[in-house]
Amino acid sequence: MEKLIERPNYLNQLIENKDVDLVKVVTGIRRCGKSSLMTLFHNYLVANGVEEQQIIHMNLESLKYRHLQDYLAFYDFVSEKISENKRAYLLFDEVQSVRHWEKAIESFRLDYDVDIYITGSNAYLLSSELSTLLSGRYVEIRMLPLSFKEFLCFYKFQEKVSLDEQFQEYLKYGGMPILREYNFNEVRMNQALEGIYSTIILRDILQRNTGVEQLTLEKVVRFLCSNIGSITSPNNIGNILSHEGDLQNPKGKNIAGKTIEKYISLLQNAFFTYAVGRYDIKGKQLLKTLGKNYLCDMGFRNMLLGYRDADRGHILENIVFLELLRRDYHVYIGKVGDTEIDFVAEKPTQKLYIQVTESIVAPETRARELRPLQMVGDNYEKLLLSMDKSFIQSYDGIKAVNIIDWLLA
């Protein structure tokens, strides 16, 4: 068995929550590394004095557990394995395979001395039913595909391959961990991505939601992939796709914005896309209209549309957005006057304003990108991220930072 590569950011979150009386819920898109993280945590427990018989580790998508389709069978099966006199560590992968699994999880918590960790590939995992049942007694750890820093740990490059060239590979193939097995064989990597994509569409969306039309859903996916970082509304998307002849109902009318909105919501629930709202910086309020959508990973976009160098600005924007999520920021689009700031990123004690562009060498581009940041009146940190390598590191207090340097900081 090949040695697992550490994902310290996520493993440390599990370790920090160990033995805390909360259910640890690891969420994220299929194949982003949740099962490997559970194995890494299992290994950590054993290395730190927990006996194997104290650990009950199950992947509930395995046919080995096909008889555990409802919560009662699941509860009875696991209960028989829980030791009476020592704390048990329950590690359940893809727990949504069990009907009403949340009832069993709450019973384990009430009936035994246990520390519980679960993973799932769909946001229904934290639906209102679970939230109500556990009512604040869980912590969510959101897992994403590989960051660029992790990508450099996963892949072995020859010394002659520059950091810029390694970054180009990351932009092209994204960060799904399984792709490492193919050693940059483009055909095989795209086949692997197609397989994951099909599973997400079929298993996490179509099988769970009656009345969803696959062709329409895939058109919406392609539209979102083509319009990363563009301000859109469900009505706009419906109108554009209908006008192009892609979407029509039997009466020949445009597909309703509500249908598009539903499909985008399903993609978000499968962690395939992320929605970002707009924030009025001067009015200090969230705006209800016209947000943006970003993808969980660039590999899917390039697999579906082909890699187009002309889109690099939006690809870079998406990369920065995902990195802000990894760094535990709440992210918004900033509206200031008649201009927009790509990202307003907040933590309880910190705020960042960020503009992302491929290059600010051209004076007119630099002026355009600086203007929104210059219009913000507060003293929080302002960053202008680009691919440029320049000796000029600041423009009137606005830091100019190379994106690769920022990703590896």
The full set of domain ranges for the chain reads: 8-142, 148-275
Task: Supply the pTM of this predicted model.
Answer: 0.92
Separation between Cα atoms, residue 79 and residue 82, nearest integer Å: 5
The answer to whether 59 touches 94, Cβ cutoff 8 Å, is yes
- Rounded to a whole number, what is the distance in angstroms from the first to the last CA of the chain? 32
Q: Which residue has the higher pLDDT, 291 or 200?
A: 200
> pLDDT at position 283, please?
66
Residue 127 CA: distances (Å) to CA of 52, 130, 175: 32, 6, 27
Question: Cα–Cα–Cα angle for 135, 126, 30, nearest 5°?
Answer: 155
Which candidate, 175, 268, 173, 253, places its Cα nearest to that of 217?
268
User: How many other β-carbons are positioned within 10 Å of the β-carbon of residue 181?
Assistant: 11
CA 199 remoteness from chain centre: 16
The pLDDT of residue 16? 97
Residue 212's alpha-carbon distances to 99, 205, 217, in angstroms, are 21, 8, 7
SS3 label, residue 349: coil
pLDDT number for residue 3? 67
Could you tell me the pLDDT band of residue 148, with boundaries at 50, 70 and 90?
very high
Q: What CATH superfamily is the domain 8-142?
A: P-loop containing nucleotide triphosphate hydrolases (3.40.50.300)
- pLDDT tens digits for 341-395? 999 999 999 999 999 999 999 999 999 999 999 999 899 999 999 999 988 889 9
Classify 251 as helix, strand or coil: coil
Q: What is the pLDDT of residues 206-237, one digit of tens each?
A: 998 999 999 999 999 999 999 998 888 888 88
pLDDT given for residue 347 in this prediction? 96
User: What is residue 308's predicted lDDT score, i.e. its pLDDT?
Assistant: 77
pLDDT level of residue 242 (50, 70, 90 thresholds): confident
Contact (CB, 8 A) for 111 and 80:
no
